[in-house]
Amino acid sequence: MRQSQKTEQQADRLSRIGLENRKYTRARSTDYGEGKGMSVTIQDLVLDRNNLNQAYLRVKRNKGAAGIDDMTVNDLLPYLRENKRELIASLREGKYKPAPVKRVEIPKPNGGVRKLGIPTVVDRMVQQAVAQILTPIFERVFSDNSFGFRPHRGAHDAIAKVVDLYNQGYRRVVDLDLKAYFDNVNHDLMIKYLQQYIDDPWTLRLIRKFLTSGVLDHGLFAKSEKGTPQGGPLSPILANIYLNELDKELTRRGHHFVRYADDCNIYVKSQRAGERVMRSITQFLEKRLKVKVNPDKTKVGSPLRLKFLGFSLGVDHNGAYARPAKQSQQRVKKALRLLTKRNRGISLTRMFEEIQRKMRGWLQYYSIGKLTDFIQRLDKWLRARIRQYI
């Protein structure tokens, strides 16, 4: 299967066709393809051979665990060679039925667990094929203040925006914490928000099937009455489509904000304004979007003390700058403490390799912040730990 840019170009063309009408699907193009008056729908683009090839290659490249059928990414190509026609026919005729996702729990750094739902590799490929078509369409809809799960955007861009807002005089932040956001997405509202831009029944039915496919947890099946399980290729874009309603509301009210997936910070100029915004936005989220705000973790405070994406801010004569939050510093020190325990009984070479592997990723992520003082202290402490081990 070969990669091709044809499908991306088709999706981009479809998006431009519908841009004026804000309905991006079931658009009619009089100059699309070779024949005049040819109809183009998301279904056509999703099931396009090149799009499916790209989806397969992406799933193969991402690897990942097997779903409930134990099929691995290495088993996918032989499966497709035998069942490709039947798979495409079932999708085209609306008979395709996704399998339940496998429940996996991943420990969070600050305690608790994050629940993931691992789809089968075939379902992952179909989800990826849909996501590849939806992404360029919704990139024309999403806010410039949204940075998570989007192409050519990331946490570093979000932090740069935070620094800029602080330097503009927005010295207080409403730190919103959504309680188990991915587990509480309302399916009917999700379809409603999709329908604002998508008028293709085939696509909407397929997405609802994925939302309601159920969960297999330690051999027990549970229905999916709400939520979009983390772990599948569709989940990130669906999460952004849902919370785009929050972005639109914040923009309508004239607020300055930065959102990364379900982490959202709203920047204001006073504590009083922050508390007022926190109350009104909490009401909007719980009544309009049907998601729960965690009252214990949602707060108004200073960006110099509160944590966002692992960073806090510092200030010097040049203005604000990013720095690793205290919790991030403590976490990496704890990890290094475990790696350098005196009773591990491993070689120094292996220990140094583990330390280097850990610190390479950490330094790469926090490199946009000021690190010199912390790294000097950490280096002195780590050398003492290694001397004790020796």
Pick from 282, 262, 278: which is nearest to 270 by CA? 278
DSSP assignment string, 33-88: SSSTT-B--HHHHHT-HHHHHHHHHHHHHH-----TT---HHHHHHHHHHHHHHHH
pLDDT value at residue 219 = 83
Domain spans, the chain:
325-388
The per-residue pLDDT for range 179-232, each reduced to its tens digit, is 989 999 999 999 999 999 998 999 999 999 999 999 988 888 989 899 988 889
Rounded to whole angstroms, how far apart are CA atoms 161 and 258?
7
Q: How many CB atoms within 10 Å of residue 6? A: 13
pLDDT value at residue 23 = 56
Q: What does pLDDT average to in each consecutive run of 10 residues of the chain (390 residues)? A: 46 43 42 40 94 97 93 96 95 96 83 85 97 96 96 96 97 95 94 93 96 90 88 94 97 97 96 97 97 95 96 95 96 96 92 96 95 95 94
Rounded to whole angstroms, how far apart are CA atoms 212 and 220?
16
Q: Are 46 and 94 within 8 A, CB to CB?
A: no
Rounded to whole angstroms, how far apart are CA atoms 59 and 82?
18
Rounded to whole angstroms, how far apart are CA atoms 236 and 242?
10
Q: Are 210 and 123 within 8 A, CB to CB?
A: yes
The per-residue pLDDT for range 107-131, each reduced to its tens digit, is 877 667 788 899 999 999 999 999 9
Dihedral sign (CA 374, 380, 381, 385): positive
Rounded to whole angstroms, how far apart are CA atoms 224 and 382?
47
Rounded to whole angstroms, how far apart are CA atoms 36 and 30?
5
Predicted TM-score (pTM) of the model is 0.86
pLDDT value at residue 105 = 85
CA angle 212, 215, 220 (to 5 degrees): 135
CA dist list (Å): 351 to 80, 361, 385: 43, 16, 12
